[in-house]
Amino acid sequence: MTKRDIEIMIEGNLEYQLIEALEPIRHHVLATGIYHLFNEGIYDKLLESDHSIESLAKALHFDETKLLGFLRYLANEGIVEFIDEKVRLTKKSKQINEFRGWYTLMIGGYGHTYLQIGEKLKEGSGWAERDSGQVGVGSCQMSKFDAIPLTRSLMAEIPKECKYLLDVGCGEGLYLVEFCRAFPNLKAWGVEPSKGGYQAAVELVRRSGLEERIVLTNASALELLESPFKHEPDFLIVGYVLQEVLGQDGESGVSKFLTGILERFPDIYIIVIEIEDQITNKKIMGHSMSLAFYNPYYLLHYFTNQRLEKLEFWERLFEKCQLEVKAKKFADINVDSTDLTVGYLLHRKQS
């Protein structure tokens, strides 16, 4: 019997076909399980030390039987293991710790959104829900890999020392804390409209002991323009936020925001981080990173009042707002080689 004969036999086998058909369900439940493992503090407790189910349940105030079932499930997926009546993280699960932000964003923030797709396909059905707090927190956790290094590299192109950072749509406030730590003379102002993101930022700033240097406001980009400015920022970061304003308030809303900021602070430097819409580009979408992240990420934008655009769109809009592109860079190719995450450094055009 040839290798091909064996392949045909396996492919014709009903059980084999069923297992293949169930594979997406397995991954769906596993991604959800890993999210809960992180989000409920179980992962961090197990990082500290191995635990018996009893001590873990007690430490986290969990129902022992449910926790046991949850961990037995994860053990079968190779995420935890039971050794001598104790549960511990496996090597495989220790490797995903760094990437928990993707679980916070895509499952905590948008897990519910994906389940609403059917209902929201209907005409006039409005937007699907999302957990904005988790979106802001997850996005910040992920930004350690892409947007924060990209922002730092764009900042290095600013021809003066930055003293006051304004971060609009700051989510959990991680940029504020990271930059204040990196630049001891820097002060910062974070603006975040979602209650959950704003609360997470207040908590992070408090935990970091930076209350003296970081102020926070619970408002949207356009609400900010309408409120009196108590601070004098010399650079602004909008990380994955113009796509939100574009969805909510259209092109005129983004223009209003950018020109309003320029009127108020004519010499300000603006760093924009965005993701380019390339959902129809077959070559790019064939990349494993595109299939692992960007494809589901693009999908959620169609259902949640956010609008991604091509780079030409943004560059035309900056031009209309009298902004000059001083530098344009992409995320580190060691983390993401698709060039879909882009950063711009902008400054008012000299007339």
Ligand X SMILES: C[S@@+](CC[C@H](N)C(=O)[O-])C[C@H]1O[C@@H](n2cnc3c(N)ncnc32)[C@H](O)[C@@H]1O
Among 34, 80, 154, 241, binds ligand X (CB under 6 A): 241
Q: Which is nearer to ligand X, 80 or 196 (CB)?
A: 196
Residue 220 sits in the site that holds ligand X (CB under 6 A): yes
Nearer to ligand X among residue 79 and residue 221 (C-beta): 221
- The window from 35-43, 157-165, 192-200, 209-217 that contacts ligand X (CB under 6 A) reads 192-200
**Residue choice 42, 168, 202, 270 for contact with ligand X (CB under 6 A):** 168
Per the CB < 8 A criterion, the answer to whether 60 and 40 are in contact is: yes
Site for ligand X in 99-138 (CB under 6 A): 132, 135-136
Task: Tell me if 140 sits within 8 A of 178, measured CB to CB.
Answer: no
Tokens for 2? Answer: 């040839």
* Binder of ligand X out of 108, 111, 190, 193 (CB under 6 A): 193
Residue 197 makes contact with ligand X by CB under 6 A: yes
| Residue 139 within binding range of ligand X, rule CB under 6 A | yes
Instruction: Considering the complex, state which of residue 42 and residue 340 has its C-beta at the smaller distance from ligand X.
Output: 340
190 binds ligand X (CB under 6 A): no
d(CA 83, CA 70): 16
Q: Which of 99, 100, 90, 91 is nearest to 36 (CA)?
A: 100
- By CB under 6 A, residue 221 contacts ligand X: yes
Separation between Cα atoms, residue 343 and residue 270, nearest integer Å: 10
Largest CA distance in the chain: 80
> Binding residue for ligand X (CB under 6 A) from 134, 143, 290, 338?
143
Q: Is 343 in the site for ligand X (CB under 6 A)?
A: no
| Site residue total, ligand X (CB under 6 A) | 23
Alpha-carbon span 343 to 326, nearest angstrom = 11
- CA distance to 29, 31, 304, 349, per residue, from 25 (Å): 6, 10, 24, 52
Determine which residue in the list 113, 194, 304, 341 makes contact with ligand X, applying CB under 6 A. 194
Shortest Cβ 176–ligand X spacing (Å): 10
Scanning the chain, the segments in alpha helix (DSSP H) are 3-11, 14-39, 42-48, 53-60, 64-76, 91-96, 100-103, 111-115, 117-120, 132-143, 147-155, 174-182, 195-208, 221-226, 242-264, 282-285, 288-289, 295-301, 311-320
Tokens found for residue 261: 């900021």
Residue 192 binds ligand X (CB under 6 A) = yes
Residues that bind ligand X (CB under 6 A): 132, 135-136, 139-140, 143, 147, 168-171, 192-194, 197, 220-221, 239-241, 244-245, 248
